[in-house]
Amino acid sequence: MSVKRRIEDLALLGGAPLFSSPKSTSNLLRPDVERYLSYSRLFFEQKQYTNNGPNVKALQQRLADFHQTQYCLVFSSGFWALALAIRYLKLAGRTEIIIPSLTYRRMTDICAWAGLAPRFCEVDPNTLAMTEETVRSCITPQTALILGVHPIVNCAEAQRLQDMAQDYGIPLLFDSVESVYESLPEGRIGGFGRAECFSLHACKLLNGFGGGYLTTNDEILAKTLSAQRGFGFTAIDHIGVPGGLNAKLNEMHAAMALASLDDIEQQVVLNRQRYQCYQQALTAVPGISLLAFDETQRCGYKNIVARMEDIWPLSRAETLRILNAEQVLARAYYDPPLHHKTMHYPHVTANLPQTDRLSQSFVNLPCGQQVSTDDINSIASLMIFLFENSNEINCALQETLL
Ligand SMILES: *Cc1c(COP(=O)(O)O)cnc(C)c1O
């Protein structure tokens, strides 16, 4: 680890990077390898690699128990869980889906695949979450579905969204990818709306080398999507459900996801330590404030999001360039927001001043299992160094641009 004494020590200005290996915002959990191997041995010995093998069955049961729902279905990705659920739930004859603009980069592609045009809603400036009010103002006679999306720190008001959706008779699906471990006063995440979707990508809380799953209490939805993820088969050589594709999760991925699930409580304890370390360390950095987890609720403490206040003396783009050169792979929070991205398919043009403003001021900081509390303290010291030497750094950066 290299300490910065002069601005020439910054990696962007020719110095050695702070870290020799990248510190990213991906979780990259490595569960106990023996557990992963023992789950793998099970399917290997049974010679059943896919199509509802022993690990897929066990994983679905354990995730349904974990989220306290009747059903859980696993998929090849969160993307396909969302796409199939949207297509199934959308009201026939209508064309629009309500989603926030500050979310997953490929969400509009999923909407397009499912045949719906996104209508983007605003978010609350304090929670960064969509609210009953911001969604209500987007409802039109064309609204086919509401996609409730939880932000990456804390949850959206799922119960109020659910009550409103029910009043309007519009189906509500949740993208709960970033809220696996969370709960709200009204219940555990997993059981709100008609269904909730999650991811098993290596960057998320549960690592299945990739994959996704859906939780629901709706039996017909579960049966239909269970068939559709496997070509639409309902019996041997019989396509009983139209609209099928191949979106199954295989046994090796399920084995990894099971091993990750075995580790989840321990992970959350460590995530909380990292979060508290950031909380402590960033109090010494003027102009950078952490988005706080609501500790009165169950939280996974995975993502670290910080706001750059006006007194922070460098632009966000400059700050990220400097940090990235140090192998601190901090990222802009959902920027550009989705409504500013080029979309080669139907969408509703949006004017979202709040979202535009918010998309300029947040950063995701390194988190997850590869980041230690020492790393966090070094990142905070680096940021203090940037603050204290900002004039000189700004000048030097101007020169490097010339
Ligand atoms: C990662 C992510 C997804 C997609 O999940 P994949 O398993 O990578 O397809 C969907 N929504 C959100 C909010 C995500 O962060």
Tell me phi and psi for residue 212, to 5 degrees.
Answer: -160, 175
With 0.85 as the threshold, say if the pTM is over it.
yes
Which atom, in ligand 1's list, is nearest to the CA of 103? 13
77 lines ligand 1 (CB under 6 A): yes
104 CA to centre of ligand 1 in angstroms: 6
Ligand 1 centroid, distance to 210 Cα (angstroms): 10
Q: Which CATH number fits domain 7-29+263-401: 3.40.640.10, 3.90.1150.10, 3.30.70.2750, 3.20.20.70?
A: 3.90.1150.10
Helix (H, G, I), strand (E, B) or coil at 69: coil
Per-residue confidence (pLDDT) for residue 332, from 0 to 100: 97
Q: Is 182 in the pocket of ligand 1 (CB under 6 A)?
A: no
Alpha carbons 117 and 115: distance in angstroms, whole number: 7
- CA atoms in the 13 A half-sphere facing the CB of 187: 13
Q: What is the DSSP letter of 175?
A: E
Mutational test site, ligand 1, from 199, 214, 367, max ligand atoms within 8 Å of CB: 199
Query: What confidence score (pLDDT) does residue 400 get?
Result: 77
Is residue 367 within 8 Å of residue 361, measured between CB atoms? no
Token pair listed for 176:
């709960």
pLDDT score recorded for residue 3: 80
Q: Can you tell me which atom of ligand 1 is nearest the CA of 212?
A: 7
User: Is it true that the peptide bond before 346 is cis, omega within 30 degrees of 0?
Assistant: no
pLDDT digits (tens, 9 = 90+) for 236-264: 999 999 999 999 999 999 999 999 999 99
Kindly give the pairing relationship between strand 96-100 and strand 117-121.
parallel
pLDDT of 336-390, one tens digit each?
A: 999 999 999 999 999 999 999 999 999 999 999 999 999 999 999 999 999 999 9
Q: Is the CB of 104 under 6 A from ligand 1?
A: yes
Q: What is the mean pLDDT of residues 149-173?
A: 98
Q: Give the single-character DSSP code of 369.
A: T
Ligand 1 center to residue 80 CA distance, Å?
10
CA 112 / ligand 1 centre spacing (Å): 16
Give the pLDDT score at 266.
96
Indicate where the chain has its CATH 3.90.1150.10 domain(s).
7-29+263-401
The answer to whether the beta carbons of residues 136 and 148 sit under 8 Å apart is no
Ligand 1 atom showing the smallest separation from residue 211 Cα: 7
- Three-state secondary structure call for residue 92: coil
402 compared with 218, residue with greater pLDDT: 218
What is the full DSSP assignment across 288-354? EEEPPP-TTS------EEEEE-TT--S-HHHHHHHHHHTTB--EETT-S-GGGS--SS-------HH
pLDDT at 1 over 70: no
d(CA 148, CA 191): 13
Q: Is domain 33-262 in CATH 3.30.70.360, yes or no?
A: no
DSSP one-letter code for 246: B
Compute the distance between CA of residue 365 and CA of residue 1 in angstroms, rounded to an integer.
18
DSSP state of 366: P
Q: What percent of the chain has pLDDT over 70?
A: 99
**Substitution site in 27, 76, 104, 196 for ligand 1 pocket (most atoms within 8 Å of beta carbon):** 104
* H helix and E strand count, the chain: 13, 15
- pLDDT the model gives residue 92: 98
Enumerate the CATH 3.40.640.10 domain ranges in the chain, comma separated.
33-262
- Across the range 180-202, mean pLDDT stands at 98
Task: Report how far residue 167's alpha carbon sits from residue 14's, in angstroms, rounded to the nearest whole number.
Answer: 60
pLDDT of residue 391: 96
Contact criterion met (CB below 8 Å) for 354 and 105? no
Tell me what pLDDT residue 336 has: 95
Q: What percent of the chain has pLDDT over 90?
A: 98
Residue with CA closest to ligand 1 atom 3: 78
pLDDT value at position 402? 62
Q: Is 103 in the pocket of ligand 1 (CB under 6 A)?
A: yes
214 touches 196 (CB < 8 A): yes
User: If you measure from the C-alpha of residue 176 to the centroid of ligand 1, how many angstroms do you get, rounded to a whole number?
Assistant: 9
The closest residue, in CA terms, to atom 5 on ligand 1 is: 78
- pLDDT, one tens digit per residue, over 203-213 is 999 999 999 99
Q: Give the tens place of pLDDT for each residue, 281-326.
A: 999 999 999 999 999 999 999 999 999 999 999 999 999 999 999 9
Distance separating alpha carbons of residues 283 and 178, to the nearest angstrom: 25
Strands 195-199 and 212-216 come out as antiparallel
Ligand 1 and 175: CB distance under 6 A: yes
Closest atom of ligand 1 to 210 CA is 7
Cα–Cα distance measured from residue 154 to residue 297, given in angstroms and rounded to the nearest whole number: 9
Strand, helix or coil for residue 239? strand
| Per-residue CA distances from 140 to 136, 170, 348 (Å) | 9, 11, 12
What average pLDDT does this structure show over 135-163? 98
Nearest CA-CA partner of 176 in 146, 154, 197? 197
196 Cβ closer than 6 Å to some ligand 1 atom: no
Kindly state if the Cβ of 251 falls inside 6 Å of ligand 1: no
- Nearest of 86, 101, 57 to residue 171 by alpha carbon: 86
